Chain A
Amino acid sequence: MIRKDRIYEDLSLILKRARVVFYVLGGLLALILGYYWKVQILDHQKYWQLAESNRLRERVLSAPRGVITDRNGKFILADNAAGFKVSIIRENIKDFEASYRNISHLLGIDEADLKARIEKYGSVAAFQPIVVKDNLTTEEVSRIEARKLEFPELEVEIEPKRSYPFGVSAAHVLGYVQELSPEDFKVGAAGKRHWGDMAGKTGIERQYDDVLTGEDGRLLEIVDSLGRSRGEMARVEPRQGKSLRLALDYDLQKKAEEILQGKEGTIVALDPKTGEVLALASFPTYDPNKFISRFTPEEWLSLVNDPAYPLENRAIRGVYSPGSIFKIVMATAGLDSGFVDGQTAYFCGGALEIYGNVFSCWFKPGHGMMNLTNGIKNSCNVYFYNLGRRMGIEPIASYAKLMGLGRKTGIDIPGEKDGLVPDPEWKLKTFKTAWYRGETISVSIGQGPLLVTPLQIADMVACVANRGVCVVPRLVPPENGKEKSGKTAVPIKRETFETIIQGMWMSVNDGGTGRGARVEGFDVCGKTGSTQWISTERAEKLQQQGKEIKKTHSWFAGFAPRSDPRLVVTVLVEFGGSGGATSAPLAGRIFDLYRKKYDR
């Protein structure tokens, strides 16, 4: 193949040099191999001994989660308690089958499960402890300790465990923690954490999981051939997660829970200036401690199948018709866009015929001539039917949205619902039909497809109380200057709010529907609501037929004091009857407590 026509370079010199280097390399490798022979064969005994005595065990030292307190730091709402777990050290087992049998009996766990768990960790060194049961009761711990000699393979360890000293109290705010599931690892939600670690699942525990989670420590122990610790090699102390101070005022929270006892409903109390949530109670409730100490299957099933949905946070996840509470929005829209003024009056004769249908007022005899403030005070349906007919749906919907309805408030716990502010566009998109004029009339008194959460109502009332400055509700107050305040001014005239507030003040203090919420010297302003499930006509018919009708949901939303609002309270009691009769007095008790606590 060597072609004669080409001049080949003389490479012999450099080829020789390259080969010499290669032979030197070969010799070097032989020498290295000789040294390996010395270490591996001649000195084998020495290194074998070293390897035997030189065995380390790594333990994870779980970091306690940050503590959660109320606003004064006085009440600890979520704490850490000592928990016990028991592990198996396999190298101390002589007869595996017998050991599985005896241990499953001792700990009350299924033998097959135990075996499966141990085999899953087959590739882990035999002296590494494998956790087989945690959250032991003291009784279980003493049972194991008493039979320590019979079970050299068992080892009891202490680890910090989440505890909620007040049990069911503020459960929906705090949320709960649960063991990370395999799914969490699949979707990468587990971050740096390990199997079996606890992570926040809902509420504050979830929202602020990063803050609350500490950093696990690590302990490297030297162990002898029996797995006994022979000293520490290195130790990294666990770091507890940061503490959180909630905006909650535990006295108000306790009062709200006391009030709701035995009912289904929710109470929200806000500071309208900052949006700080002073109380948030939802009933029925549950005990978050159970998520840590594990439910029995019966307990779990009864919890998730409970028709009253105790796990749901009604304040942010319950969607209800606002009923007459919505008249606040109606009045704002009507006044601010000039459809009516303070003097405009309509006659209420107990019912009104619009578009060929009869729409009734809740007060059969009729209210007579009603202007706006009186309409709010007496919650006169007919006034607002007229207003709604005059305005049409568009301004109603746009003012409702402006005031925060139909979207999440942005509170700092997960799972909040949007609610719904209907308009023709929504109707067309959802039902493929046009908007009926009659639906506007229903919406005018807060019925129809309109849906709100109790927190949205509280936030809307805060916006009214602030005369047009809306706030984002916060359970954890932002640290100074660290975050934006979340305050936004809405483009609504201040005089509009003053008129609305006059109506709300009259409702409570001038013998209106909200009079049950009156607190001497605290100038409470509010609005009641009772949401119908069926039309009044139908209800009457059913009553005549002697059939039982379900009571209405009962609302109250208000703030105090009138001139310098510092507290917004929203109460919703499901099937509680009329707002004035049920919810207004309950709200009154919260206002009363606040005044006693904070007012001179």
Chain B
Amino acid sequence: MIDRGAFHEIDWVLIGLLIVNSVIGVIFIYSSSHFLPGNYAMKQVIFIVVSLAFLFLCLAVDYKVLMTYSLYFYLAVTAVLAGLLVFARLVAHTKSWIKLPFFQVQPSELAKIALILLLAQIFSEYKKSTLSSNVGIQAILLVLGPFILVAAQPDLGTALTFIPVLLAAFILAGLRKKTIAILLVVSLAAGLVGWNFALKDYQKKRLTTLFYPSQDPKGAGYHILQSKIAIGSGGLTGKGFLKGSQSQLRFLPARHTDFIFSVIGEEFGFLGVLLVMLTYFLLLARMFLSVGMARDRAGVYIIFMASMLIAFQFVVNVLMIIGLFPVTGVPLPLLSYGGSSLVSNALAVGLVVNVRMRRFANA
């Protein structure tokens, strides 16, 4: 299983880009939380080390082997998610966390990895040029279970990140115009039903304030507006490290988690935004373009789904903080503070490296 030859093929550039982005995160986590107790920056450094350990652990096992266990992994994670709803106590108003003696784990983050492996397993055997309704419905149902369980925590942000994974699989399998139309109609219907029956008031409010942020500056629109003020007031070069009045005066909400990119925008201006986006784009490009290095269909699916997962979160986050997407609680992958999210994103990158390094191996 462990193939020495493969280890010469580890993509150090990709891992390097992962580390560079994480370190940028640490710097701004420090900037946005150094005046708080809790030492978040230091903890994030530890999370990075732990994530890298998980990444290398994942490299040790051929992705084909990982895939054969994907169903069990999926079932285990789903069972834990269901158990959480029943047994977990509320932390920050959601039932997302498993409390362990020294830290908390967010199992919904691991569900992403489970879904990637399971969908890759299913679609690796699918060789038609377009998606059939059979496989399509099967995949939708598989994603729907964890989606509902996570959305009920309620953590709609994390649940939404399952969708690009599914969508990525569909895109590769091939979408006919008819399928696209059906998907659009179904999601629109789901949206309507959700709006009327499932969405909580605060979630609806977030959606409406997306379009009218200044309507209620002290209420739900407050976060978006403050974030926008932070970014806009940064100008071309920013106010300087640790000098952003919006972030240092605790004006921004969730500075070190969901709104960390606003801190970058305020303290280093457009140039900072440009540089960080460029660094991030390099990471995404390296991931996406690895598809050509996959030795089989499953490998392509894994790489593409993992890349879409991170790309989707990145796009949603940078849109959200500037007021172009509702505040859904999607963190900026690799940069935002948080151990579970960091581990799952590092694992996603790890899967890409895993596929790349085994392109010459016998299956």
Contact = CB atoms under 8 A, between A and B. Distances in A.
A32 B273 CA distance: 11
B129 A13 contact: yes
Nearest to B271: A40
Interface stretch (A46-54, A162-170, A576-584): A46-54
B57 interface: no
Nearest to B272: A40
A6 B361 CA distance: 11
A50 to B, nearest CB: 5
Interface in A9-67: 9, 11, 13-15, 17-19, 21-22, 25-26, 28-29, 32-33, 35-37, 39-41, 43-44, 46-48, 50-52, 54-56, 58
A452 B246 CA distance: 63
Given A29-B281, A35-B322, A48 B35 contact: no
B324 interface: yes
A14, A55, A58 — most chain B CB neighbours (10 Å): A14
B229 A47 contact: yes
B273 A18 contact: no
A14 B218 CA distance: 48
A435 B200 CA distance: 77
A228 B230 CA distance: 22
Contact of A51 (B229, B277, B297, B362): B229
Nearest to B233: A51
A124 B228 contact: no
Interface string B265-291: 100011001100100010011001101
A233 interface: yes
A44 B250 CA distance: 21
Measured as residues with beta carbon below 8 angstroms from the partner, the interface class of chain B is 35 or more
A590 to B, nearest CB: 50
Contacts of A46: 232
B122 to A, nearest CB: 14
Given A29-B277, A40-B269, A54-B229, A15 B324 contact: no
Given A47-B228, A50-B233, A51-B246, A40 B270 contact: yes
A229 to B, nearest CB: 15
Given A14-B297, A40-B232, A51-B229, A26 B35 contact: no
Contacts of B319: 32
Nearest to B226: A54
Contacts of B269: 40
B249 A36 contact: no
A101 to B, nearest CB: 28
B231 A123 contact: no
A55 B235 contact: no
B236 A40 contact: yes
A531 B237 CA distance: 83
A35 B324 contact: yes
Contacts of A233: 218
A37 B269 CA distance: 10
Contact of B248 (A1, A17, A52, A125): A125
B295 to A, nearest CB: 8
A13, A15, A21, A56 — most chain B CB neighbours (10 Å): A21
Nearest to A23: B288
Measured as residues with beta carbon below 8 angstroms from the partner, the interface class of chain A is 35 or more
A39 B270 CA distance: 9
B281 A26 contact: yes
Contacts of B318: 32, 36
Contact of B249 (A6, A11, A29, A55): A55
B88 interface: no
Contacts of B304: 14, 18, 21
B322 A33 contact: no
Given A1-B360, A17-B171, A50-B233, A124 B35 contact: yes
B240 interface: no
Contacts of A14: 172-173, 291, 297, 300-301, 304
A9 B295 CA distance: 8
Contact of B232 (A9, A47, A55, A56): A47
Given A9-B297, A39-B322, A17 B172 contact: yes
A93 to B, nearest CB: 18
B229 A33 contact: no
A36 B288 contact: no
A18 B291 CA distance: 8
Main secondary structure of the interface of A (DSSP, over half): helix
Given A11-B300, A32-B315, A36-B265, A18 B229 contact: no
Interface in B1-52: 34-35
A48 B277 CA distance: 23
B292 interface: yes
B245 interface: yes
Given A47-B233, A55-B249, A17 B324 contact: no
A123 B242 contact: yes
B251 interface: yes
B174 interface: yes
A405 to B, nearest CB: 41
B297 to A, nearest CB: 6
A395 to B, nearest CB: 49
A43 to B, nearest CB: 6
A15 B232 contact: no
B311 interface: yes
Interface string A555-584: 000000000000000000000000000000
B234 interface: yes
Contact of A48 (B233, B274, B289, B292): B233
Contacts of B294: 11
Contacts of A13: 129, 174
A25 B265 contact: no
A353 B304 CA distance: 102
A40 B308 contact: no
B360 A37 contact: no
B296 interface: yes
A296 to B, nearest CB: 33
A303 to B, nearest CB: 34
Contacts of B251: 54-56
B269, B288, B289, B295 — most chain A CB neighbours (10 Å): B288
Contact of A17 (B174, B265, B273): B174
Interface string B191-231: 00000000000000000000000000010000000101111
B270 A41 contact: yes
B322 A51 contact: no
Contacts of B171: 17-18, 21
B315 A41 contact: no
A368 B291 CA distance: 112
Contact of B235 (A6, A8, A17, A41): A41
Interface string A156-182: 000000000000000000000000000
A11 B172 CA distance: 10
A368 to B, nearest CB: 72
Contact of B274 (A21, A33, A35): A33
A21 B248 CA distance: 38
A54 B230 CA distance: 11
Given A21-B171, A26-B281, A41 B236 contact: yes
Nearest to B305: A18
Contacts of B34: 123
Interface in B243-259: 245-246, 248-251
Nearest to B314: A29
A9, A26, A46, A123 — most chain B CB neighbours (10 Å): A9
6 contacts: A25-B315, A32-B324, A41-B270, A56-B250, A58-B250, A125-B248
Interface of A: 1, 6, 8-9, 11, 13-15, 17-19, 21-22, 25-26, 28-29, 32-33, 35-37, 39-41, 43-44, 46-48, 50-52, 54-56, 58, 123-125, 233-234
The 9 closest A-B pairs by CB, nearest first: A47-B232, A51-B233, A22-B288, A40-B270, A47-B233, A44-B235, A18-B291, A14-B172, A48-B233
Given A37-B270, A40-B235, 8 more contacts: A18-B303, A19-B291, A25-B315, A32-B324, A47-B229, A50-B232, A51-B246, A56-B249
